[in-house]
Amino acid sequence: MSAFTIPIPSMLRYTRATPDEIDEPSPADDLIDSNCDRWVRCSTINAPRRVVYRWLCQLTVAPYSFDAIDFPGRRSPGTLTPGAEQLRVGQYFLIFAITSTVRDSYIAGMSRPEFDRAYGHIAVSYSVTSLDDDTTRLRANACVQHGMGIGIRHLALAAGDKVMAGRQLRNLKARAESANPQQSSE
């Protein structure tokens, strides 16, 4: 750990997460040393779980956050890419490689080595839970290993993740709700 430590405030660690969601174990938790900084981002989506999960599979195709920054010269597709739901261990999504997945439930992965220098060692999972037949809770968990130190760089990563993941979840929500004929506004 670095000699210069900056505490990461909860406003950067959590986005629309309930205390239970913050405390609830995630598939990402088992992938990394417990000495990590845990971030939880959530969204309620007016679409069935299978629809939301199918849009999560699109993260193997594009980032769905700020395309100009993390997908230069291209746009995240507005429609589902055929075959993207056929996930496999080792497959890339975002800066991660899939370590496990359960259809209509979650996708989990570890940061790929080529990104560790920039971001540190990170485990991530995206989980979907049905609230009712047409409403789903999407929870994105990130466990960031403390090896990179908890200084300015770690604080910047937390702030950047809050913005980028927030945009990503809003975009996935909009896509899933537009695909759901039963949608209602939140």
Reduced to 3 states (helix: H, G, I; strand: E, B; else coil), residue 37 is strand
Q: What are the tens digits of pLDDT across the range 89-136?
A: 999 998 899 999 999 999 999 999 998 888 888 999 999 999 999 999
pLDDT surpassing 80 at residue 55: yes
Q: How many CB atoms lie within 10 A of CB 78?
A: 9
- Kindly report the average pLDDT of the chain as a whole number: 87
Contacts of 59 (CB under 8 A, 6+ apart): 93, 94, 107, 126
Using one digit for the tens of pLDDT, what is the confidence trace for 17-44?
999 999 999 999 999 877 788 999 999 9
The answer to whether 50 and 182 are in contact (CB under 8 A) is no
Please report, rounded to a whole number, the percentage of residues in the chain having pLDDT higher than 90. Answer: 62
pLDDT at position 68: 62
pLDDT of residue 147: 59
User: 0.85 exceeded by the pTM?
Assistant: yes
Amino acid 186: pLDDT = 40
Higher-scoring residue by pLDDT: 154, 70: 154
- How many other CB atoms sit within 10 Å of the CB of residue 118? 11
